[in-house]
Structure 1
Amino acid sequence: MSIRHYAIALSIVIALVLQIMPMPAIADLYRPDWVLLVLSYWALALPNKVNVGVAFITGLILDILLGTSMGVHSFAMCLCIYVLATNYKRLRNYSVWQQSIIIGVIAALYNSVIFWLQHLITDIYFLFDYLWPVASSMVIWPWLFWLLRKIRRQLRLH
């Protein structure tokens, strides 16, 4: 078996590592939602292989790694990937810069759902700092898109 068979799973594992990697507190505020970005790319590029089921399992793994209540990231991830998967034909036709704005909206939805679920469970309060990952995810999207597309084409994933 070649790396071709594990490319999607390997990219998700790398995103999980980037999501939990320790960073200085000031840089951690701006950490992009790596897992959401990688799943978003694969849901747009290969919706028959990466769908809501993959998002659910990946979200549960993220809940375990981050120590949050079970199902918080999973539910938010499923909701976002569902929106992308149902509109993938339309979204693929947008330029990468237009997709970046859509990814910003999706990341805002993701972070808002996580905030509201955490607020219901633990009674946390909203801070504007919760939205910095939305901006950084929008900025990272074009480069991540081009990198993953190059990998997908070189490995002939379809």
Structure 2
Amino acid sequence: MTRSPSPWLLYGSLVFSLLVLVVPIPGGLGPARPYLLAMLLCYWLLEAPDRIGLGVAFLAGLAADLVAGTLFGEQALRLVVLVFLVQRFRARLRFFPLWQQALAVAALLVNDRLIAAAIQFASGAGLPPWTTWLSPLLAFALWPWMFLLLDELRLRLRERAA
């Protein structure tokens, strides 16, 4: 039995997260949108580190920049930093209870928000609105549900392939 996840599930989930980037959110809550692409990269790095790495993060970030219309390379840089940190601490993160994993992912996304704010400030766009800081909190709340859903899908596809 293979341990690698289905490539359709892995890369399909990343493409889905790119599509979520363009879904309109009412009011001024757009900046509070959880960074689903980063959360999925964290999940896949914990579960299938041999299939996801810095290169995939960089390419996914460039695609996200094109889809979202942000400064080209901004999300690529942010995702490469995030993936590096997850790879560095994977051995610890993998065995955390789910709530501690959610807290660690939220801390990684706060770091991501700090990098994004620094890039925006350096490019002359000014500081982002305060609602951007809600994004890591929403990710903290969504992480356990996303983790359990993807785990269930991954295990079902593995059973079906066996």
**What's the CA shift string for 1:86-110, capped at 9, x where partnerless?**
2111111001100010011011011
**What's the CA shift string for 1:16-40, capped at 9, x where partnerless?**
1112211202442431111111111
Matched, 1:82 2:84: yes
State percent identity of aligned pairs: 25
SS at match of 1:122: coil
**What's the CA shift string for 1:2-21, capped at 9, x where partnerless?**
x9332111000111111221
Alpha-carbon contact 2:32-2:132 (below 8 Å) kept: no
Distance 2:87 2:70 in 1: 26
Determine which of 99, 103, 106 is the counterpart of 2:105.
103
SS at match of 1:155: helix
Determine which of 42, 49, 52 is the counterpart of 1:50.
52
Distance 1:38 1:102 in 2: 14
Determine which of 28, 31, 35 is the counterpart of 2:30.
28
Matched, 1:146 2:148: yes
SS at match of 2:123: helix
Taking structure 1 as the reference length, the TM-score comes to 0.91
- Unpaired runs of at least 5, structure 2: none
Residue identity opposite 1:102 in structure 2: A
Distance 1:41 1:105 in 2: 15
Equivalent pairs counted in the alignment come to 155
- Unpaired runs of at least 5, structure 1: none
Distance 2:74 2:28 in 1: 24
Give the 4+ runs in structure 1 shifted more than 3 A: none
Distance 1:113 1:90 in 2: 23
Q: Which residue of 2 aligns with 1:39?
A: 41
Distance 1:114 1:49 in 2: 26
Taking structure 2 as the reference length, the TM-score comes to 0.89
CA RMSD, Structure 1 to Structure 2 (Å) = 1.7
SS at match of 1:109: helix
